[in-house]
Amino acid sequence: MKFKVIPSHIAVIMDGNGRWAEKQGKKRTEGHRAGATAIDRLLDVALEYKIPAISLYAFSTENWKRPITEVNAIFNLLIEFIDTRLDDIQKKGIRIQHSGNRSKLSKKVLEKIDGAAKATQKNKKIVANFCLNYGGQEEILSGFHRIQAARKESRVPLDKPISPKEFEKYLYTHPLPPVDLLIRTAGEQRVSNFLLWQIAYAEFFFTNTLWPDFGRESLEEALVFFESRKRKFGGLA
């Protein structure tokens, strides 16, 4: 398909892995595994349409409330994803980024995601931003603390007003552009603490498709929707 406008940054809330598994009489973990395959498809179509940045909500600051077996399964899938896909990701020119709080992530997970980010740092085609132990509120608070610490260090008065442009440098997603399109699968219509700052003027696309079933057609449907939106950014035209 041909599109007149392509979003610079798509954020995806990959919901419905559990329901997909339940429908098939499989374990929830199998739903997450099928979800990882849907990420492969998404990145391939994103490369084709030259979508510069994709943020994937893989594990939120609230997902620790899930049973430890499921938490471990998601992180093991992430490790497996990097181990089995890194060469291909490298060949395709995809840059890997991590957004989220590092403190609760295991040494192994940090080693993998940091290693993948380092290995792909010069890649220019598209960015796949894995949001792990990510929460929008936590990101904003931690950004504020870090900007104040930097100001203290360089003796800038702490009460000097902070401009949005300056603040954005302290978000986990830096240097990614604002989100143009937020996609949430599995019929839920909530933001769930995802990229709260970055979605200020995003268009929202909700689909009943469960994440493991998401593919080319679903993304094209979202791009058709995006192209049809008249974006005014608070102005009149």
Binding residues, by number, are: 15-20, 28, 32, 60-62, 64, 66, 184, 190-192, 203
Which residue, 53 or 78, is less far from ligand FPP as judged by CB? 78
Which pair of structure tokens corresponds to residue 38?
Answer: 């849907």
Residue 55 burial by Cβ neighbours in a 10 Å radius (0-12, 13-18, 19+): buried
Site string for ligand FPP, 66-95 (x = CB under 6 A): --------x--xx--x--------------
Which residue, 38 or 170, is less far from ligand FPP as judged by CB? 38
For residue 206, the SS3 value is: strand
Cα Rg of the chain, angstroms: 18
Question: Residue 15 catalytic?
Answer: yes
Which residue, 80 or 166, is less far from ligand FPP as judged by CB? 80
CA geometry: angle 110, 165, 96, nearest 5 deg: 25
Question: Residue 114 catalytic?
Answer: no
Peptide bond into 175 cis (omega under 30): yes
The one catalytic residue among 40, 63, 76, 123: 63
DSSP state of 224: H
Q: Which segment (13-21, 46-54, 106-114, 165-173) binds ligand FPP by CB under 6 A?
A: 13-21
Phi, psi angles (nearest 5°) of residue 55: -105, 130
How many chain residues touch ligand FPP (CB under 6 A)?
18
205 vs 111: CA distance, rounded Å = 34
Residue 222 engages ligand FPP in binding (rule: CB under 6 A):
no
Active-site residue set:
15, 63
- Which parts of this chain interact with ligand FPP (CB under 6 A)? 14-19, 32, 35-36, 39, 58, 63, 74, 77-78, 81, 186, 211
